Structure 1
Amino acid sequence: MAEPVVAEAAVAAEAAAPADTHPAGRGVHAVGRRVRAVRARLTPSSVRARATLAASLVVAVALGVASLAMLSLLRADLHGNAEQGAQLQAVAVAKLAADGRLTKLVPLDHGADFIQVVDADGKVIAASQNIAGLPAIKPVPPIAPVGPRGAKVPARVAVAAKGWDVGPLGVELHQQVTSVATDTPQGQVVVRAGVSLRAADAAESTTAFVLAVGCPLLLLTVGLVTWRVTGRALRPVEAIRTEVAAIGEQALHRRVPIPRGDDEITRLATTMNAMLDRLHLARQRQRQFIADASHELRSPIAVLRTQLEVALTHPDPEVRTGLVEGALQDTDRLQALAADLLLLARLDAGPVDRPTAPVDLGGIVRGTVLDRGDERCAVILDLPEEEVLVPGNRLWLTRLVTNLLDNAQRHARQTITVRVYRDADRGTGRTESVLEVHNDGQAIEPADRYRIFERFTRLDDARSRDHGGAGLGLPIALDIVQHHGGTLVVADSAHGAAFRARFPVS
């Protein structure tokens, strides 16, 4: 009883198996892989080869279509001219027959090669001199009536669509024959006029030969020109690729060659060099940042270690207490420095999306100043009654105001003025929210207005590290403003120094 159950389970498992594990599914996938492999082998791998192949295919199709169209138009034109000449001659003879003026010998005109007139019994009653005495042309094509009866030439006209073999008549084999039927006093007769198609056949053959020889030569020329032009156009790209491949982590100073001209490849090389400039600058900033951070951390750590070692061995409890308090102060400095470094690292990484929640800039300034309490210099607030909204992050904007106030407290003599207002940008005409922090201390020289936003930069190297800070407050403030889509600059001031931050309203 167990064997049937096992067999049924095996069948069910095979039916429930995915297509790629089933034998039939594996076969289909194998065929698909082989097709893709063949297609990959047949498809050129280089842009140069693909461009040449595409241009050659397009030109080949265009030449084929144009050649067929040219041969068709040429054949239609030549056969039409021959048919028109034969029809004019046949109609002229049919008119003579209808008027009873037909003679045994019919003169040739309008480029006709022969004329033959037969009666209803198929007997030749008139002909041109070159085929006089010869039997009637056979086979006789059907004659379709054309035009109303009772016209000036009461004839029914039918034109042979294909050339006839009229070799037995002693004339050229390939003729365009036109048949015209008309009523005469002796009964109905059929007038047949033939025009040689030798010139038309020769023109068609010559044209076909020229196209058969010229089209491959033209196609080959297009392929060679496309191959050379594409190779010449892609040569700078290969030079750029080679140079970029040679630029390693330790060779970011190298740049790719910029070709002459103002085409897409030139712009690509220029953009590539600009990117390498940014990478080089970022690496230099990273190295400088690491070196400065190590220098800033080494001093408080060394002082902290010294204080703890002295406190551990000193016998006086009061001295040990003072040393421990100093160690705690250095620990606070280390903690603040570490927090600044972490914030800079987060700002360098960049936010996923720019903050969009509306925040009252005036309210942040008012709350920050109240939380700081009494300080060395008085803070004067100049805030509007209405809200000044800025799309941003409240925590980061609070840190911005704190850093600007800390910097102002270090350099102010007596007072600090903080203003928040709306202003129209003269360049774009858009309304912006503005935060200004002004102190009555020493003015900042124009040459130092950009340098103070560099990390670990101190304009006064002789000042105390305890009061001067680590030189990260203003760089953090600048990064925060830039992440909010704004600008932070040192504003012109008659007395002291002023920092102005502009934020877009929306």
Structure 2
Amino acid sequence: MTVADSPLAWWRRQGLRFRLTVVAAAVLALALAVSASVLVTVLDRALIDTVDESTRQQAQTVRVHADAGTLTTPITTNDGTIVQVVDAGGRITHVTYGADRLVPLLAAAARERVLREGGEATFLDGRPYAIPGPLRVVVVRADRGQTVIAARPVAEIQMSLATAGRVLLIGTPLLIVLLAAASWVIIGRTLRPITALRRGAAEITHTARSRRLPVPESKDEVHSLATTLNDMLARLEEAEQRQRALVSDASHELRSPLASIRLQLEVALGHPEGQDWRETAEGVLEDTMRLSKLAEDLLALARLDERGGVPARTEPVDLDQVTRQIADRYGDVRLTACEPLVVSGDALDLSRVLTNLIDNAVRHATSTIEVALTGDGTLTVTDDGPGVPEEDRERVFNRFTRLDSGRGRDEGGAGLGLAIVRETVRAHGGTVHLEDASPGLRVVVWLPRG
């Protein structure tokens, strides 16, 4: 037998509804079987104990009369108990009506054994004594060597127990089948919302981006699952829209420098005799640098998206040293404060954050650019340029977002610098926002201390 043909593999191939129904029916069958067994056993023990107690009481009553010498023949009992009184010589002296007067129910050796064991009741076959079925026999010792033997038939009890067993044997399977059918229906109704979810998911295609899965009215686990899946679809739809927007904006940004390079080369090749090739090379180099910068920014964003908001490395970074090194590259940047600060993250990513902020400040500043780092994790870059209107201070962090003033500059970027800054700062557990510097703009970055 191969693994694919094993019972376990067959079981795994079955549907959830079938497996739940079978498991429920099996557990129910086991519980009912154990319950029926316990019921019959307890009922048997209780009935036998009742018979034993009644028989012992009758034997004790006869013993009292035997000790007092007031026994009459025949002995009268009100519950059908058979009583024999045997004297010290082994002869039967008194009996109940219909009892054997010649042969004791228990021989002398058997009577002594029962008495030694504490007088507990014992079973005895009544057929040799013309009594159908078994008997429960109790032996009690009386005065003057007498012994009282009391017995009571238990055939009716055994017949009642046998009848109860047959009823349970027939009724239990019927009950299991009934409850299995009910479980099949109930489980089917319970799984119906999951079937609706599956059908809804099957209807969602790449062209139906705005579709959502049906959410059941009941506030249960399936409702939570549907809500979670719809949230996931919304996030996927948002990510897809962002990717489409990124491709569209990137294509638009690439078109301009490529067209410029093509135009300059076509003009130069069409009129080589009157062309300043150095000027052409410088123009092509400038557009090529724009393409290179755009490619680097797109690659940085792609890596940030791929890491899911987690830094590439997590190591102690002396942010004050990084700030001094980058500020020294710019001659017109004034470092007003640089307190010692260690943060946890990636030094290259944090360097890119400060570089992008200073590049933006240099691009828009009139005369002054200030950089400050304080020990509480706050990094600020301030310029005295035109600033950003308050209603646009959140929008400028979106990808490929440039204000009208930025679009009019030939040296302007593609609108990815601040987007890279925010994604990188968030990956390091920090925040970034814009403030009015009166005049100019102040970018405030906060990073948690390492």
Taking only the aligned residue pairs, the percentage that are identical comes to 38
State the shift of 1:80 in Å: 0.7
The verdict on how the C-alpha distance between 1:498 and 1:262 changes in structure 2, with shifts beyond 3 A counting, is: farther
Structure 2 SS opposite 1:467: coil
Counterparts in 2 of 1:180-191, with a 5 A limit?
A: 180-184=140-144, 188-191=145-148
Alignment match of 2:392 (pick from 445, 448, 466) = 448
In the other structure, the counterpart of 2:323 is: 365
Once the two structures are superposed, what CA deviation does each residue of 1:45-92 show, in whole Å capped at 9, x if it has no partner?
111111111111112111111111111111111101111111121122
Distance in 1, Cα, partners of 2:381 & 2:240: 33
Structure 2 SS opposite 1:258: coil
State the shift of 1:481 in Å: 1.4
Distance in 2, Cα, partners of 1:473 & 1:422: 25
Distance in 2, Cα, partners of 1:218 & 1:464: 84
The verdict on how the C-alpha distance between 1:42 and 1:256 changes in structure 2, with shifts beyond 3 A counting, is: closer
1:305 is aligned to 2:262: yes
1:383 is aligned to 2:337: yes
Distance in 2, Cα, partners of 1:333 & 1:267: 48
Structure 1 SS opposite 2:276: helix
The verdict on how the C-alpha distance between 1:166 and 1:459 changes in structure 2, with shifts beyond 3 A counting, is: same
Structure 2 SS opposite 1:404: helix
State the shift of 1:272 in Å: 0.8
Counterparts in 2 of 1:44-55, with a 5 A limit?
A: 45-55=14-24
In the other structure, the counterpart of 1:17 is: none
In the other structure, the counterpart of 1:178 is: 138
Once the two structures are superposed, what CA deviation does each residue of 1:424-443 show, in whole Å capped at 9, x if it has no partner?
xxxxxxxxx22222223334
In the other structure, the counterpart of 1:63 is: 32
The verdict on how the C-alpha distance between 1:390 and 1:178 changes in structure 2, with shifts beyond 3 A counting, is: same
Structure 1 SS opposite 2:28: helix
Q: Is the 8 A contact 1:165 1:174 kept in 2?
A: yes
1:470 is aligned to 2:422: no
Distance in 2, Cα, partners of 1:414 & 1:462: 18
Deviates more, 1:457-466 or 1:283-292: 457-466
1:278 is aligned to 2:238: no
1:158 is aligned to 2:115: no
Deviates more, 1:118-127 or 1:50-59: 118-127
Alignment-mate amino acid for residue 335 of structure 2: L
Q: Which runs of 5+ in 1 are unaligned?
A: 1-30, 148-155, 424-432
State the shift of 1:485 in Å: 2.6
Counterparts in 2 of 1:6-25, with a 5 A limit?
A: none
Q: Is the 8 A contact 2:311 2:424 kept in 1?
A: no
The verdict on how the C-alpha distance between 1:326 and 1:292 changes in structure 2, with shifts beyond 3 A counting, is: same
Q: Is the 8 A contact 1:112 1:194 kept in 2?
A: no
Distance in 1, Cα, partners of 2:121 & 2:241: 90
The verdict on how the C-alpha distance between 1:490 and 1:229 changes in structure 2, with shifts beyond 3 A counting, is: farther
Alignment-mate amino acid for residue 459 of structure 1: L
Q: Is the 8 A contact 1:90 1:191 kept in 2?
A: yes
Counterparts in 2 of 1:345-424, with a 5 A limit?
A: 345-350=302-307, 355-374=313-332, 379-385=333-339, 387-423=340-376
Structure 2 SS opposite 1:242: helix
Distance in 1, Cα, partners of 2:118 & 2:291: 113
Q: Is the 8 A contact 2:76 2:96 kept in 1?
A: yes
Q: Is the 8 A contact 1:157 1:179 kept in 2?
A: no
Alignment match of 1:250 (pick from 195, 207, 221) = 207
Distance in 2, Cα, partners of 1:313 & 1:242: 62
Distance in 1, Cα, partners of 2:317 & 2:406: 39
Q: Is the 8 A contact 1:85 1:112 kept in 2?
A: no
Distance in 2, Cα, partners of 1:497 & 1:112: 112
Counterparts in 2 of 1:21-420, with a 5 A limit?
A: 31=1, 33=3, 36-42=5-11, 45-109=14-78, 111-119=79-87, 122-131=90-99, 135-137=103-105, 141-144=110-113, 146=115, 158-166=119-127, 168-169=129-130, 173-184=133-144, 188-315=145-272, 319-350=276-307, 355-374=313-332, 379-385=333-339, 387-420=340-373
Q: Is the 8 A contact 2:311 2:345 kept in 1?
A: no
Q: Is the 8 A contact 1:308 1:324 kept in 2?
A: no
In the other structure, the counterpart of 1:483 is: 427
Distance in 2, Cα, partners of 1:353 & 1:79: 79
Structure 2 SS opposite 1:436: strand
The verdict on how the C-alpha distance between 1:263 and 1:500 changes in structure 2, with shifts beyond 3 A counting, is: farther
State the shift of 1:172 in Å: 5.5
Equivalenced residue count is 448
The verdict on how the C-alpha distance between 1:83 and 1:44 changes in structure 2, with shifts beyond 3 A counting, is: farther
Deviates more, 1:284-293 or 1:124-133: 124-133
TM-score with structure 2 setting the length = 0.89
Alignment-mate amino acid for residue 417 of structure 2: G
State the shift of 1:133 in Å: 5.2
Q: Is the 8 A contact 1:157 1:181 kept in 2?
A: no
Distance in 1, Cα, partners of 2:174 & 2:378: 72
The verdict on how the C-alpha distance between 1:265 and 1:143 changes in structure 2, with shifts beyond 3 A counting, is: same
Distance in 2, Cα, partners of 1:337 & 1:372: 21
The verdict on how the C-alpha distance between 1:229 and 1:434 changes in structure 2, with shifts beyond 3 A counting, is: farther
In the other structure, the counterpart of 1:13 is: none
Alignment-mate amino acid for residue 47 of structure 1: L
Structure 2 SS opposite 1:444: coil
The verdict on how the C-alpha distance between 1:216 and 1:271 changes in structure 2, with shifts beyond 3 A counting, is: same
The verdict on how the C-alpha distance between 1:127 and 1:252 changes in structure 2, with shifts beyond 3 A counting, is: same
Structure 1 SS opposite 2:403: coil
TM-score with structure 1 setting the length = 0.80
Distance in 2, Cα, partners of 1:317 & 1:120: 153
Structure 2 SS opposite 1:129: coil
Q: Is the 8 A contact 1:181 1:190 kept in 2?
A: yes
Deviates more, 1:98-107 or 1:479-488: 98-107
Structure 2 SS opposite 1:308: helix
The verdict on how the C-alpha distance between 1:413 and 1:199 changes in structure 2, with shifts beyond 3 A counting, is: farther
Once the two structures are superposed, what CA deviation does each residue of 1:83-141 show, in whole Å capped at 9, x if it has no partner?
111112112222333444433322215x3422122345653221113437575436774
Alignment-mate amino acid for residue 355 of structure 1: R
Structure 1 SS opposite 2:136: strand
Structure 2 SS opposite 1:338: helix
